[in-house]
Amino acid sequence: MFENQLNNISIGQPDKIKDEKIKISINDLSSYFGKTKVIKNISLNIPEKKVVAIIGPSGCGKSTFLRSLNRMHEVVGGTITGSIYLDGEDIMKSDPVYLRRKVGMVFQKPNPFPTMSIFNNVVAGLKLNGFHNKKILSEIVEKSLRQAALWDEVKDILHRSGAEISGGQQQRLCIARTIAINPEVILMDEPASALDPISTTKIEELIFELKKEFTIVIVTHNMQQAARVSDYTAFFYVGELVEYSDTKKMFVAPGKKQTEDYITGRFG
Amino acid sequence: MEIKSNMKNFNYYRRKSTNYFMISISFLSALVTLIPLIFIFYYTISKGIANLNLNFFTKLPTPVGESGGGMVNAIVGTLILIGIGGGVGIPVGILSGTYLSEFGHNKFGFLVRFLTDVLSGIPSIVVGVVAYTLVVLPMKHFSALAGGIALAILMIPTITRTTEEMIKLVPQSYREAGLALGIPKWKTTISIVLKTAWKGIATGILLGLSRAAGETAPLLFTTLGNRFWSTNVFQPIASLTVYIYEYSTSPFKDWNDQAWTAALVLILLISVLSLTFRIITRSKYKS
């Protein structure tokens, strides 16, 4: 019955999206852990320099979907079928190392490298890939930390450990680290769920700034957050895409009963 | 109500007394573990300090009956032996530990892990016999090299297993963060995972080195011992432990005394080694 419902609407194509330039195109994506199918035949397009939020109850495959986009899913032994195109290129045919330099990721729990200074944390992706020009590195550190709205707070303690700052600052440090390698897409896996409301607000403001330059896909448990930061929202339920539409429309007049039930808190 | 409060009091005092009792027992046990150590330090220092002078560190051993002399050859010999042992054992141990933790989730890894545990339980004298067969017999004479290899074999299981356990403690999220930054897996393993686990690995290395420095049995078959100055790794070499063994079982009083001094020097050597290692591997940041 659910399958029928899915076929009746043009999922993957919110009204406004036709006017957008498509950055990532996902066709019939299924992701597996062993034989368990976690993501079930999802097709959707992610527009360039917009924020797409993925919402849905726990265990609905949001994170797995996100991790399929930069091939982190296979790091934990997962496999996928279907196709994902980044700017028209099949990501399964590209080298995961290079793909991940284009598609950065911010994790749920802040994870700065504890053995590195704040400075080195920001440029870890560059330094460990053999880039050592000190002058350019310092410029990148300042630029990235400013973009991550952290510069003023840490500019005098750049030599201190990345683990010594507060959780909210650590998460912004991780964002700075991600944007330092100048990716095209940033994936965020519940980036604010481990943070207090003030830090959360800061991250949300940051997302607003970042979308001027980057395409952002954010997984979130928090529907208000999705409504605040995103241009488009996709609602996942047990591995299926129930609805994908303009965020405003999704939260004002959801197209599906199930979506409405979820966002109004009747289930999930 | 009254019953309840009585119960409460009863439980309260029983809880408290059990608590004190258990704490006392564990405190006493901690004390008991210290006693042998205190005795060892006390005896070695009190008996060994008399001969501890500059000569001991600069002179060669004297012939029987002639007093004085030192053990410079044995001190240098021990350093060379743990140098060879560490030179072989540390890289092999770290790399195999890294393999087991990061790539060894298969049958081969299981086999290696099991055999490493078996190896760590093999008596050191057996390892000495093995090194004798593998190195001494083909070369047709005793050598520092053979001793160093015996010590390496003894070090490898300790270093391998500590490295593996320490690397396992590094949260998965650091590996993922590295990979997500487009850093290749091998580079992530070396520059992020090993670096994070480094302090613990260093402890394993230190344990391995200290154990090797204190071994006598495998050296008897391999380095033989040498009363003269030699730094040639292809020739028999002196070592503190072999001297301690020979001098302490000899009938001469001044040799017995020198054995105590050699023991004291060995303890000092390991302490200095340990301290230097701690300073070198000290992390820049407080954890």
Cβ of A59 under 8 Å from any chain B Cβ? no
**Chain B CB contacts of A111 below 8 Å:** 171, 173-174, 176-177
Q: How far apart are CA A113 and CA A126, in angstroms?
A: 14
**Chain A CB contacts of B195 below 8 Å:** 113, 115
Contact B112, B44 (CB under 8 A): no
Helix H, strand E, coil C: the string for chain B is CHHHHHHHHHHHHHHHHHHHHHHHHHHHHHHHHHHHHHHHHHHHHHHHHHHCCHHHHHCCECCCCCCCECCHHHHHHHHHHHHHHHHHHHHHHHHHHHHHHHCCCCHHHHHHHHHHHHHHHCCHHHHHHHHHHHHHHHHCCCCHHHHHHHHHHHHHHHHHHHHHHHHHCCCHHHHHHHHHCCCCHHHHHHHHHHHHHHHHHHHHHHHHHHHHHCCCHHHHHHCCCCCCCCCCCCCCCCCHHHHHHHHHCCCCHHHHHHHHHHHHHHHHHHHHHHHHHHHHHCCCCCC
CATH number of the CATH domain containing A54: 3.40.50.300
Q: Does residue A73 form part of some domain?
A: yes
Locate the chain A residue with the closest alpha carbon to B198: A115
Q: Does residue A128 form part of some domain?
A: no
Q: Does residue A99 form part of some domain?
A: yes
Q: Does residue A34 form part of some domain?
A: yes
**Chain B CB contacts of A177 below 8 Å:** 177, 181
pLDDT range class, residue A9, cuts 50, 70, 90: very low
**Chain A CB contacts of B188 below 8 Å:** 128
pLDDT of residue B3: 58
**Chain A CB contacts of B200 below 8 Å:** none
For residues A233-259, average pLDDT: 89
Distance (Å) from the alpha carbon of B141 to chain A's nearest alpha carbon: 47
Cβ of A125 under 8 Å from any chain B Cβ? yes
Locate the chain A residue with the closest alpha carbon to B171: A111
- Under an 8 A CB cutoff, do A128 and B187 touch? yes
Q: How many structural domains comprise chain A? A: 1
**pLDDT tens-place string over residues B230-257:** 888 888 888 999 989 998 998 888 888 8
Q: Does residue A243 form part of some domain?
A: yes
Determine the residue type at B175. R
**Chain A CB contacts of B181 below 8 Å:** 100-101, 104, 124-125, 128, 177-178, 181
Number of Cβ within a 10 Å radius of residue B135: 19
Q: What is the pTM of this model?
A: 0.81
For residues A5-26, average pLDDT: 67
DSSP reduced 3-state for A196: coil
Model confidence at B88: pLDDT above 60: yes
Domain residues for the domain of A84 are 2-112+181-263
**pLDDT tens-place string over residues B214-223:** 898 899 888 8
Cβ of A109 under 8 Å from any chain B Cβ? yes
pLDDT of residue A7: 41
Q: Does residue A75 form part of some domain?
A: yes
Locate the chain B residue with the closest alpha carbon to A161: B285
Bridge pairing between strands A240-246 and A185-189: unpaired
Q: Does residue A132 form part of some domain?
A: no
Q: Does residue A23 form part of some domain?
A: yes
Model confidence at B85: pLDDT above 70: yes
**pLDDT tens-place string over residues A73-122:** 998 889 999 999 999 899 999 999 999 999 999 999 999 999 999 999 99
pLDDT range class, residue B60, cuts 50, 70, 90: confident
Determine the residue type at B131. A
- Greater model confidence, A236 or A263: A236
Model confidence at B7: pLDDT above 70: no
pLDDT of residue B22: 97
| Interface residue of B181, B186, B187 to substitute, partner A, most A CBs within 10 Å | B181
ipTM of model = 0.87
Locate the chain A residue with the closest alpha carbon to B195: A115
pLDDT of residue A8: 39
Q: How many residues does chain B have?
A: 287
Model confidence at A252: pLDDT above 90: no
Instruction: Bin A99: left if φ > 0, else alpha if -120 < ψ < 50, else beta.
Output: alpha
Q: Which tokens sit at B196? A: 């994070």
For residues B3-25, average pLDDT: 81
Number of Cβ within a 10 Å radius of residue A169: 22
Model confidence at A20: pLDDT above 90: no
For residues A235-254, average pLDDT: 89
Q: Which tokens sit at B178? A: 């590295």
